[in-house]
Structure 1
Amino acid sequence: MTANDHDVVELAGGEFRMGSDDHYPEEAPVHLVKVGAFGIDRRQVTNRQFAAFVQATGYRTVAERPLDPADYPGAPRENLVPGSMVFTPTSGPVDLRHLSQWWAWTPGARWSKPEGRRSSIEDRADHPVVHIALADATAYADWVGARLPTEAEWEFAARGGLDGTAFTWGDEPRPAGQIMANTWDGPDFPWRSTGESGFERTAPVGSFPANGFGLYDMAGNVWEWTADWWTERHPDEVDHPCCAPQNPRGGDIAGSYDPAQPQFKIPRKVIKGGSHLCADSYCLRYRPAARRPQMIDTGMTHIGFRCAWSLPSDSA
């Protein structure tokens, strides 16, 4: 399989202001970078596409593999079965500092059974594939002859040529009242959605307007893996615009570990784009500059990916 078998947008690359000084601290500081030419999937990888990969290769995702107790010291035995993290709305308002109230390790949850053993993707072939760990995204990308985008490439693509705006479409969350992305509807996260967007979970890819580069769902729907190790902040701005870093990369694996969980020596990569669970009142992260760390072995109901493609002129 090649780029011709995917709907790929080829970007010439260029210079842009990466990050934000106006939102969350991990997005700062704003700094000038350059990226070379590259291709990127117009849409997030779907269940239909991932199913073709599994059928052709027999691949088993991380969520389907048995867990080794030695890798999870202190974890309850009953949790050490194949599964993944599933979002479940709460029965009412809760303290938003405690994510465990709406996330639960669910035995049997995987890409083909997103909510657990009794669920299916029968009517979700064109929805983004979820419960994808880093190894799963990488394996699929390798199979199609692609790779994962760097954080800088992803953000450049998400901005769609609008340098410095808050969102992929501009500075207003809802220009002229239009819903631009699949995010949480209303202020009552995580217990009640107004349903204005028409979707309470994922939406078929391409259901909302494309950005200036013709790319869909660069905001919301599902978070997307990048190739870069997590860092707590961006590097400082260089002193002279001529020296803006070309095709910058993130930190190193040693610096990506979570200091709050020293018992788990699991490195983290950067995920981008926000998801259908991003609520303005809780997680305003469906923006190009937004970034979060994700343990590489952990898939969830709101994490997927799209592929990047190296072009002959790509100097990455």
Structure 2
Amino acid sequence: MKPTRPTLAVLFLAGSLIAAGVHAAKDNPPHLWQDPQVGLEFVRVDKACYRMGNDTAIPPEPDGGWVRLNYTQSLSADEGPVHEVCVDAYWLGRHEVTRKQWKQVMGSLPEGSNAALPDNTPVTRVTWEQARAFADRMTVLHKKRYRFRLPTEAEWEFACRGAKAGALDKEIAAAADELGRLAVAAIEAPVPPEPVGSRPANGAGFFDLLGNVWEWTADDYAADGYRRHALYNPRHSAGTDKAVIRGGSARTEFVQTRCTMRGRYPKHDTLDLLGLRLVREE
């Protein structure tokens, strides 16, 4: 089933906030590394500074899922203030971790997984602790030559923006068919996630950063976390029981399908559409 076409208002808001990362990569990215143990592919992101966050007020859709969950505050309330951050070079997974790759490392799928889904779809029903355990095992597999971990919010958002340092308000808003072409989101009925890489990559060579499945990050969630961000390699460690999730999923409304959207979820809990992608440190 194809994604529904968003309203013009939603299109402008969502499109203007992801435009820096929506242009499909025509060729393979110049810096690509494949893990020889499991087959995970990583794209190198160069050291850079950029303006992180969003100060645009975006109200919930009148009949959207957030309203049904009594979440009626502005969806961008925790996305500001816009602030400058700098990230060191890092390698981010080109795709979300698949069920096959998870089984290779962990031995079996997470409890409650749908056994009928293909091996090339993203692994889901993964807790934050399990996601970190997967990264730790990847590090061990490589005899600690490389260290793997979850991406920080700052790293994830920069990659989603297409690894561009330019301000989003200087970019051209995406067209409706462009957003629908790149993001598995705003569907008419619940469906499983698509196989990784089913849609085109963004301008930096990453697939499925928007839609398909939510992705865990390394950051603890705090609504005012940005006000306490360090300039260099920020990571918020509030010691809370919720971590930040990013990117939306196949059941996410288009208004939420943007690079700056911050979700949060209990670290010990799972969702049918919550998975992960990894960072490989330099």
TM superposition score normalised by structure 2: 0.71
CA 1:151–1:170: 2 relative to 1, 3 Å = farther
Percentage of identical aligned residues = 32
CA contact (8 A) 1:271 1:292 kept: yes
Runs of 4+ in structure 1 off by over 6 angstroms are none
State how far apart, in whole Å, the 2-side matches of 1:207 and 1:38 are: 24
State how far apart, in whole Å, the 1-side matches of 2:196 and 2:185 are: 13
- Counterpart of 2:224? 233
- Counterpart of 1:14? 48
Which structure has more helix as a fraction of its residues? 2
1:10 deviation in Å? Answer: 1.1
1:174 deviation in Å? Answer: 2.1
CA contact (8 A) 2:45 2:163 kept: no
1:132 deviation in Å? Answer: 0.6
Stretches of structure 2 that go unaligned for 5 or more consecutive residues are 1-33, 59-75, 140-147
Give per-residue Cα distances to partners, 1:146-201, cap 9 Å, x unaligned: 111111111111111344438xx96225256852210022xxxxxx43xxxxx832
User: Which residue of the other structure, out of 165, 168, 190, is the alignment partner of 2:168?
Assistant: 165
State how far apart, in whole Å, the 1-side matches of 2:106 and 2:227 are: 42
Aligned length: 219
State how far apart, in whole Å, the 2-side matches of 1:47 and 1:218 are: 17
The structure that has the greater radius of gyration is 1
CA 1:176–1:18: 2 relative to 1, 3 Å = closer
Give per-residue Cα distances to partners, 1:70-129, cap 9 Å, x unaligned: xxxxxxxxxxxxxxxxxxxxxxxxxxxxxxxxxxxxxxxx23x2xxxxxx23x4111100
**Over the residues paired in the alignment, what is the CA RMSD in angstroms?**
2.4
User: Which residue of the other structure, out of 188, 206, 215, is the alignment partner of 2:197?
Assistant: 206
Where in structure 2 are the equivalents of 1:5-154 lying within 5 Å? 5-22=39-56, 23=58, 24-55=76-107, 61=110, 64=111, 110-111=112-113, 113=114, 120-121=115-116, 123-145=117-139, 146-154=148-156
User: Which residue of the other structure, out of 237, 240, 249, is the alignment partner of 1:275?
Assistant: 249
CA 1:176–1:212: 2 relative to 1, 3 Å = closer
1:237 deviation in Å? Answer: 9.2
- 2:182 counterpart SS class: coil
CA 1:208–1:60: 2 relative to 1, 3 Å = closer
Give per-residue Cα distances to partners, 1:38-97, cap 9 Å, x unaligned: 111100000111111232xxx684xx4xxxxxxxxxxxxxxxxxxxxxxxxxxxxxxxxx
1:31 deviation in Å? Answer: 0.7
CA contact (8 A) 1:278 1:285 kept: yes
CA contact (8 A) 1:3 1:144 kept: no
CA 1:41–1:170: 2 relative to 1, 3 Å = farther
- 1:235 counterpart SS class: helix
State how far apart, in whole Å, the 2-side matches of 1:149 and 1:10 are: 13
State how far apart, in whole Å, the 2-side matches of 1:177 and 1:214 are: 16
State how far apart, in whole Å, the 2-side matches of 1:306 and 1:230 are: 18
- Counterpart of 1:93? none
State how far apart, in whole Å, the 2-side matches of 1:154 and 1:34 are: 13
User: Which residue of the other structure, out of 203, 207, 217, is the alignment partner of 1:216?
Assistant: 207
State how far apart, in whole Å, the 2-side matches of 1:177 and 1:53 are: 33
- 2:103 counterpart SS class: helix
Stretches of structure 1 that go unaligned for 5 or more consecutive residues are 65-109, 114-119, 186-191, 194-198, 239-243, 257-266, 312-316
CA 1:200–1:303: 2 relative to 1, 3 Å = same
TM superposition score normalised by structure 1: 0.64
State how far apart, in whole Å, the 1-side matches of 2:167 and 2:278 are: 24
CA contact (8 A) 2:96 2:208 kept: yes
State how far apart, in whole Å, the 1-side matches of 2:179 and 2:160 are: 21
The amino acid of 2:100's aligned partner reads R
